């Protein structure tokens, strides 16, 4: 019989919880017993996720805004603390892809947008949550990286650089707080059936062709459902993963092994 690892009594902040992997993770955390704070730029989607969790008997709160804005980060952490007393779990999932434009033609605007959302925002939120975790001497951070954080040809240069950054941030946090009761791990999904690819500018044809050999290899293995990635996040957040810290877990059907 399959059982869900318990997260009873824990408070989890999950970014990008309005859709895709974030939404699936919010639902699975709630079913495992966690109280969930859904953070997303999409107000309607975040409120829908919260309504669904509440309908199923869970406890959830939506906080919306641009997570690369320090003022929004401050409000998110303040509302979480006021409502639930603090945060035990953090899932940095929110992110965007890039246009896959070849490096020689990437604009400053695209580079800065992708770095701001994919790398700066999770750093800012992690930094804001860490004092709470340090005071209580326990906490778990799960970062959602990507296959593009493990290799050079699974995304455009901005996306690839940020996901390598997420991998580095994960290892740095794990090393820094390994004796403080705080664990940090990352998931590196391959192709997943979400709407992330529809939220950015159109794909550059030249860049798509340059990346095709690697991308097609991953898609050929199979496209995962968001729930399959969320299940890994639940495991990493649970006590079942108590001895796992600083790990980057590929959840890609074996793509990273090729």
Give, as one character, the DSSP assignment of residue 186.
Answer: E
Looking at the chain, the number of H-run helices and the number of E-run strands are 8, 7
Rounded CA gap, 149 and 170, in Å?
Answer: 11
Catalytic residues: 159
Strands (DSSP E) contained in 175-231 are 182-189
C-beta of residue 65 within 8 angstroms of C-beta of residue 11: no
Matching residue, tokens 């999932």: 93
* 184 contacts: CB under 8 Å, gap ≥ 6: 140, 141, 142, 143, 170, 173, 174, 177, 245, 246
| Both tokens assigned to 200 | 């950015």
Rounded CA gap, 139 and 11, in Å?
Answer: 10
DSSP states of 123-145: HHHHHHHHHHHHHHT-EEEEEE-
Residue 16 CB burial class (10 angstroms; 0-12, 13-18, ≥19): buried
């Amino acid at each position: 019989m399959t059982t869900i690892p318990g997260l009873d009594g824990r408070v989890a902040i999950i970014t990008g919880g309005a859709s895709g992997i974030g939404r699936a993770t919010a639902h699975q955390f709630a079913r495992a017993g966690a109280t969930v704070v859904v953070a997303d730029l999409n107000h309607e989607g975040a409120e829908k996720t919260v309504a669904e969790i509440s309908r199923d008997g869970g406890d959830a709160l939506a906080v919306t805004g641009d997570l690369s804005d320090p003022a929004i980060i401050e409000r998110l952490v303040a509302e979480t603390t006021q409502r639930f007393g603090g945060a035990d779990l953090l899932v940095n999932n929110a992110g965007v892809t890039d246009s896959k434009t070849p490096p020689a033609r990437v604009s400053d605007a695209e580079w800065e947008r992708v770095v701001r959302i994919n790398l700066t925002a999770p750093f800012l939120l992690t930094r804001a949550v860490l004092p709470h975790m340090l005071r209580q001497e326990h906490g778990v951070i799960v970062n959602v990286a990507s296959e593009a954080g493990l290799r050079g040809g699974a995304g455009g240069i901005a996306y690839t650089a940020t996901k390598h950054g997420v991998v580095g941030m994960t290892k740095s946090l794990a090393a820094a707080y390994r004796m403080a009761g705080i664990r940090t791990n990352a998931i590196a999904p391959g192709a997943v059936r979400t709407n992330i690819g529809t939220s950015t500018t159109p794909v550059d044809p030249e860049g798509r062709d340059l990346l095709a050999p690697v991308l097609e290899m991953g898609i050929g293995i199979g496209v995962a459902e968001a729930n399959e990635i969320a299940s890994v996040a639940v495991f990493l957040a649970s006590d079942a993963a108590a001895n796992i810290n600083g790990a980057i877990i590929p959840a890609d059907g074996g793509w990273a092994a090729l």
